[in-house]
Amino acid sequence: MGPAGPPHRRATILHVDLDAFFAAVEQRDRPELRGKPVIVGGGGPDDRGVVSTASYEARRFGVRSAMPLRTAGRLCPQGIFLPVDGAKYQAESRRVMTILRRFTSRVEQVSIDEAFLDVAGSEALFGSPEEIARRIKSAIHDETGLTASVGVATSKLVAKIGSDLRKPDGLVVVPAGEEAAFLAPLPVSRLWGVGPATSSALAELGVRTIGDLAATPPDALERRFGRHGAELIDRARGIDGDPVHEPDAVKTVGHEHTFDRDTSDPEELERTLLGLSDGVAWRLRGMGRRAGTVVVKVRDSAFRTVTRQAPLAEPTDLAEPIFQAALRLARPEMRGKRIRLLGVTGTHLDEPDQLGLFGAEEDRRHRAMEAADALKRKYGDRAVIRARLLDRGLPAPFERDPSSPLARRGVDETLDEPERVTREREPDAEAGDLDG
């Protein structure tokens, strides 16, 4: 008798994943790029930073997300490198999430280009879960010109694995009761929580496929992995009881900037902190939130990364107090070093008071900022720029969503600590396909 599958439930969980999202948006908007290897993440193979998205044409050369741009350039010399256009991708993401919410209110967005849905209760209106998946794919293609891959299963885990298997433009349905058989031939690295270290440890036990894992005696896994061993057995059998739910409210707002060349120029470093603080403040005002704590991230030319945080005198959504706090925190860490990356994050967010409760001076600042924000919303985020930032080549910081479970890294992992120092190195191989 085979291993037990998940408790009986219907296959009503969908995972929708946009295919090579950033690159697909660029190829849609620029027909001359269609069918060509497009690499989004910088202006060229000599730029600092990593690949955000590679088109499927570029992936044939081995280019992957999170790979250094220089490595991508060596693998794909004919690649077309484009900078990240965060505002455009965020706008497209919102269009897609609006489409998903037509089919069910139970939508859990986990990153800019993917979401889980629970369509139980939607069948009377839209048909079976498979039919709903087809309708979603058609609506996304017809209304945005993009393609999405969808997995349908009884759990988020299996739906996610299904959506990854037949990209691009795929649809995989795993009926209830067939989860273990579906997973069995796949490598164990497909499972959540199985990274390179765990894969290596499992290989020492003779476990290479998910089927091998499901057949492994539980006591052997518990001796090697403790309580995590029991979780691995469940996942190998397709058991995942995590429901689809709206994610928690955003708890942090942050921006980062990687310099084209390491720099120790105080003016350039301060100007960058100001630009990052400006971006954080703008997003806070758009959310109707204020930050009570500022966190800075400093990475030097030796890839030594330091994060520091400090509370503000009072919560704010204005750039100047955020900038001043960031500058105080960053200065000691920048002194005498060549800096590779800077980041500014606002955390411990609260709801704003009514405008009338502000002091007169802050009231005037808010009115000025609201006028500037209105111009930015109408004419783009470059419509109003501080004089100190004009013609300095500082790109608009790309919005990151630290609340997403697929994006928690860097400064987001340190917010509960007064300070932390970590060492990081630039990856030289695939770090996971983060973008479909």
- Whether 166 has a pLDDT exceeding 90, the answer reads yes
Q: Is 399 a catalytic residue?
A: no
Query: What are the tens digits of pLDDT across the range 178-225?
Result: 999 999 999 999 998 788 888 888 999 999 999 999 999 988 888 888
Rounded to 10 deg, the angle between the 218-225 and 196-204 helix axes is 130
Mean pLDDT score, 424-432: 31
Domains and CATH numbers, the chain: 180-236 (1.10.150.20), 252-423 (3.30.1490.100)
Provide the greatest CA pair distance for the chain: 75
- Whether 226 has a pLDDT exceeding 90, the answer reads no
Of 195, 178, 286, 297, nearest to 238 by C-alpha is 178
Residue 249's pLDDT is 62
- The full length of the chain comes to 436
Cis status of the peptide bond prior to 185, with omega within 30 of 0: no
Give the confidence band of 287 by pLDDT, cuts at 50, 70, 90.
confident
Tell if the pTM clears 0.75, that is, is over it: no
- Whether 160 has a pLDDT exceeding 70, the answer reads yes
Residue 283's pLDDT is 81
308 CA to centre of own chain: 22
Of 156, 161, 162, 152, nearest to 122 by C-alpha is 152
- The span from the CA of 130 to the CA of 212, in Å, is 29
- Three-state DSSP state, 34: coil
- The span from the CA of 73 to the CA of 364, in Å, is 49
Higher-confidence residue: 419 or 83? 83
Tell which phi-psi region holds residue 236, choosing left (phi > 0), alpha (psi between -120 and 50) or beta: alpha
109: enclosing H helix or E strand = strand 107-111
Write down the catalytic residue from 26, 92, 114, 270.
114
- The span from the CA of 121 to the CA of 213, in Å, is 34
Residue 427's pLDDT is 31
Considering only 229-238, 246-255, 277-286, 376-385, which range has the smallest mean pLDDT?
376-385
Residue 370's pLDDT is 58
Residue 284's pLDDT is 85
